[in-house]
Amino acid sequence: MLEIRNLSLSIPVSGEHVLAVSDVSLSLQAGKVLALVGESGCGKSLTAQSLLRLGEFQGVAKETGDILLGGQSLFDISAEALRKIRGGVISMIFQEPMTALNPVFTIGSQILEVIHLHTDLGKVESHQRALALLADVGLQDGETLMKQYPDSLSGGMRQRILIAMAMAGEPEFIIADEPTTALDVSVQKRIIALLRGLQREKGMGMLLVTHDFGLVAEMADEVAVMYAGEIVEQASVTDIFDNPSHPYTQALMRCRPEFVQDGQLAVIPGNVPSPGDWAQGCRFAPRCSLATDECAAKSVALNAWQDGEHQARCIKVGV
Ligand SMILES: Nc1ncnc2c1ncn2[C@@H]1O[C@H](COP(=O)(O)OP(=O)(O)O)[C@@H](O)[C@H]1O
Ligand SMILES: [Mg+2]
């Protein structure tokens, strides 16, 4: 199990550290998909990257909380152990396949580097392994492909290669941050089918960051909704669709493309506040059609019902 426990993260804003993720708790289980949803700027990527302690490279600091892998804190291990975990136990698939590959190295050398990092295979076996990984992600002519450079490939092929690289260390957990957003719709479907197939076949736990509820319905077991740096609702995928409880979740649901009315896609009025500009009480209250004075008065804790299976951060639900 991979667990985020009461994690708060701050980011550098003009020389000061400002809270951008606050008191987030989530857990990933083997074989299960947890979807993390919410509008842009809510802190989803910061949360996802924290699982590999990647934010630190961009000045993100942990203020409170912990990340536990099988009970062991990722903040309490050696740099060497952390390097082995990255890609060996937890792998990340990024949104932008172009920037994640190095343009000056061949596909082959980039895949072989990852294999080298995570296995003791010799030269011939590594090459075989690279071909097998490419075949696993639906890329057939591996020999030719390995000699090519990233910019000669389509976005869909590049994302397949990144998925192959993410699988090279046979990870137990996969963090996919909007893995298909940069791709054409038809390619998206195939990449999702591939990811879902690999996740099930290998029994990996997965964190899927997305704003696509179609994808959530197709892939997720559990859903966490994030707004302004905090989790505002969490439940099983069935409960999220059947009984969305937080007004923010309900608003996101109404904005789905399948609910287009008179050619108009619904939008939530207003914008996600930047870190540092969060409202005092309920952070969604300024945009919430149900908000009353009480909502703005003080911050709201997560209420839980159904034996804790369904949680929402709203004074109007779950009590
Ligand atoms: N390294 C960073 N330095 C400064 N600000 C950042 C950094 N990373 C993210 N942010 C800011 O933190 C907020 C949350 O970002 P992010 O986690 O990327 O949101 P999401 O993935 O939900 O769109 C945004 O306002 C973003 O601009
Ligand atoms: Mg993001």
Assign 15 a pLDDT band (cuts: 50, 70, 90): confident
pLDDT of residue 319 exceeding 60, the answer is no
Contact assessment for residue 316 and residue 290, using Cβ atoms and an 8 Å cutoff: yes
Take atom 3 of ligand 1 and give the residue whose Cα is closest: 11
From the list 263, 265, 245, the residue with the least C-alpha distance to 255 is 265
From the list 231, 223, 195, the residue with the least C-alpha distance to 47 is 231
Closest atom of ligand 1 to CA, residue 43: 17
Take atom 10 of ligand 1 and give the residue whose Cα is closest: 11
pLDDT (0 to 100) of residue 97: 67
Average pLDDT over residues 54-81: 94
Each residue's pLDDT tens digit, 123-148 = 999 999 999 999 989 898 999 999 99
pLDDT (0 to 100) of residue 175: 96
Distance 251 CA to ligand 2 centre (A): 19
In sequence order, what are the beta bridge partners of 36?
A: 209, 224
pLDDT of residue 40 exceeding 70, the answer is yes
The per-residue DSSP string of 278-316 comes to: --SS-TTGGG-TT--HHHHHS--PPEEETTTTEEE--TT
Tally helices (H) and strands (E) across the chain: 12, 12
Q: Which fold has domain 2-89+171-312?
A: Rossmann fold (3.40.50)
Distance 141 CA to ligand 1 centre (A): 39
Would you say the CB of residue 152 lies under 6 angstroms from ligand 1? Answer: no
Closest atom of ligand 1 to CA, residue 49: 17
C-alpha distances in angstroms, 258 versus 183, 255, 289?
20, 8, 22
Distance 177 CA to ligand 2 centre (A): 7
Q: Provide the token pair at 212.
A: 């696509």
Distance 280 CA to ligand 2 centre (A): 24
Domain map (residue ranges) of the chain? 2-89+171-312
What proportion of the chain, given as a percentage, has pLDDT over 70? 99
Angle of the 155-167 helix axis to the 123-136 helix axis, nearest 10: 130
Q: Provide the token pair at 27.
A: 């857990």
From the list 215, 250, 217, the residue with the least C-alpha distance to 233 is 250
pLDDT of residue 266 exceeding 90, the answer is no
DSSP letter for 264, please: B
